[in-house]
Amino acid sequence: MTARANRTERAVRAAKAQWRARLTAARLALPVEVRAARAMALAEAAVALAAATGGPVCAYLPVGSEPGSPELVAALHAAGHEVLLPVVPAVRGPLDWASYDGPAAIGRGPLGLREPTGPRRGPTAIAAARLVLVPALAADRSGRRLGRGAGYYDRTLPQANPGVPLVVVLNDEELVDELPDEPHDRRVTAALLADAGHTRLGNGPLGNSE
């Protein structure tokens, strides 16, 4: 790698770090009642989207100030969809998956996450999904996604079937015009927003707000 490429890479990583700090602070500053109202709207929007795509649905349990709530996953399950949740592997690589069988079958995982306690389905289980909901700090209009930097989803999303919607769950203000990205970053096809609903990004396979 040339010195110029090294400088560019460092600049992109620094820009990402600035975005992450700013977005995380903004999430923490949201009033509890605003988070709760948005979580309810996101759960309703997720169920409506899954009704259009069908299942299985790969989802996740939000932690901390992430948009959404465990009720989003429970609502998908109650609507009759098979829901797969991520399991962080012992060695960094693509995420493993396990079925969601209700809140009683959820335990503590690494990185402060909560995971299903049932049998592991393997990293390739995502290939069965008709809809993949993805955590993020932000996304831009072309489908660039800003995660927390561990790279698990960048390693995982290539195993989804082509054409399957890859949808980030965000606060409306976290859909921005442009984000920094690196060659290994995997793009998403849509965003699910509390107010705007399902919004197509870039050349995503599904249309704008459902």
pLDDT of residue 7: 62
Give the ranges where the chain is alpha helix by DSSP (H): 3-29, 32-53, 70-78, 152-156
Residue range 3-200, CATH number: 3.40.50.10420
Task: Identify residue 51 by its one-letter amino acid code.
Answer: A
* Burial track 75-91 (b if 16+ CB lie within 10 A, e otherwise): bbbeeebebbbbbeeee
Give domain limits for the chain: 3-200
CA 14 to chain centre: 22
Global pTM?
Answer: 0.91
Rounded to whole angstroms, the Cα distance separating 131 from 163 reads 10
pLDDT of residue 29: 97
Listing from the earlier edge strand, what are the strands of the sheet with 175-176?
145-146, 138-140, 175-176
Residue with token string 């948005």: 38
Angle, helix 32-53 to helix 70-78, in steps of 10 degrees: 30
CB 164 within 8 A of CB 158: no
Residue with token string 């998403």: 188
> Nearest Cα to 78, choosing from 38, 121, 43, 126?
43
**β-pair partners for 146:** 138
Tens of each residue's pLDDT in the chain, 210 residues:
576 656 678 888 899 999 999 999 999 999 999 999 999 999 999 999 999 999 999 999 998 899 999 999 999 999 999 999 999 998 889 999 999 999 999 998 887 788 999 999 999 999 999 999 999 999 999 999 999 878 899 999 999 999 999 999 999 999 999 999 888 889 999 999 999 999 999 866 543 333
15: its two tokens: 């820009």
